[in-house]
């Protein structure tokens, strides 16, 4: 979190100072590497506890509310970024719209697969006679199905990473920097919303 905050401050200062594209490129590459490292860490964590990763237990409540398979929904990301990007050319706008449509199709396919797997795991856990006392066979069988969840997390993060990379390909360096800043500030605002709600909830009526 501290690293992301530092990068957001760096991008904001750089854009306000109107530094050269070469210097801005370095900040953009650092920001992209930060997300790549997060995806790598999540992949490792999912192998240890996929339920923890999918539920986003390390996130604030507001972030969890908007979460999709352990992270942000790429198509929603594009909705957040688009209004923040200056002077898109007609070609850029066309490519971003196509990317958004591709994201939605990939998300829908993955969500359907997730729902099907959830049903299978639920039925597997519930299988057996009432009052048996031993659930070892059901749990063991369910564990084999749960391993597939790790693949879903990795696929979702692949879509997220591909979306970021495609956006950086479509946009100029300066637009990409603004996009990364907008994304970082969006997550900061979600965390601030959680903190504010928690504070208000603790106050006496």
Taking only the tens place, the pLDDT of each residue in 66-100 is 899 999 999 998 988 888 887 899 999 999 999 99
* Predicted local confidence at residue 144, as pLDDT: 76
Q: Which one-letter DSSP state was computed for residue 60?
A: -
* Predicted local confidence at residue 1, as pLDDT: 56
pTM score, whole prediction? 0.86
Among 144, 87, 100, 94, smallest CA distance to 120 is for 144
* Spatial separation of the C-alpha atoms in residues 12 and 130, rounded to whole Å: 60
Under the banding of pLDDT at 50, 70 and 90, the label for residue 132 is: low
How many folded domains does the chain comprise? 1
Q: Which long-range contacts (CB under 8 A, 24 or more apart) does 75-82 make?
A: 75/100, 75/103, 75/104, 75/107, 77/160, 77/163, 77/183, 78/103, 78/163, 78/167, 80/182, 80/183, 80/186, 81/167, 81/179, 81/182, 81/183
Domain housing 64:
2-202
Residues 35/164, Cβ–Cβ less than 8 Å: yes
Q: Is the pLDDT of residue 32 over 90?
A: yes
Q: Is the pLDDT of residue 52 over 60?
A: yes
Which of 5-9, 68-72, 164-168, 186-190 shows the lowest per-residue confidence on average (mean pLDDT)? 5-9
Higher-confidence position of 57 and 36: 36
- pLDDT tens-digit series, residues 163-179: 999 999 999 999 999 99
* Predicted local confidence at residue 130, as pLDDT: 45
* Predicted local confidence at residue 204, as pLDDT: 66
* Predicted local confidence at residue 134, as pLDDT: 58
Among 138, 158, 139, 141, smallest CA distance to 150 is for 158
């Amino acid at each position: 979190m501290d690293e992301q905050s530092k990068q957001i401050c760096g991008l904001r200062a750089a854009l306000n100072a109107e530094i050269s594209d070469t210097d801005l490129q370095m900040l953009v590459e650092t920001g992209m590497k930060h997300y790549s490292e997060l995806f790598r860490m999540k992949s490792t964590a999912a192998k240890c506890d996929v339920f923890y990763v999918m539920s986003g237990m390390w996130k604030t409540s507001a972030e969890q509310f908007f979460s999709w398979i352990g992270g942000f929904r790429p198509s929603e990301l594009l909705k957040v970024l688009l209004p923040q990007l200056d002077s898109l050319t007609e070609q850029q706008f066309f490519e971003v719209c196509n990317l958004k449509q591709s994201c939605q199709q990939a998300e829908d396919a993955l969500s359907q697969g997730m729902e099907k797997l959830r049903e299978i795991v639920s039925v597997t856990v519930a299988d057996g006679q009432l009052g048996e006392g031993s659930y070892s066979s059901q749990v063991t069988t369910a564990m084999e199905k749960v391993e597939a969840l790790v693949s879903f997390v990795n696929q979702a993060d692949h879509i997220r990473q591909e979306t970021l990379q495609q956006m950086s390909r479509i946009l100029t360096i300066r637009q990409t920097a603004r996009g990364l800043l907008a994304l970082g500030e969006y997550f900061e605002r979600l965390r601030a919303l959680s903190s504010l709600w928690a504070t208000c909830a603790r106050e006496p009526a």
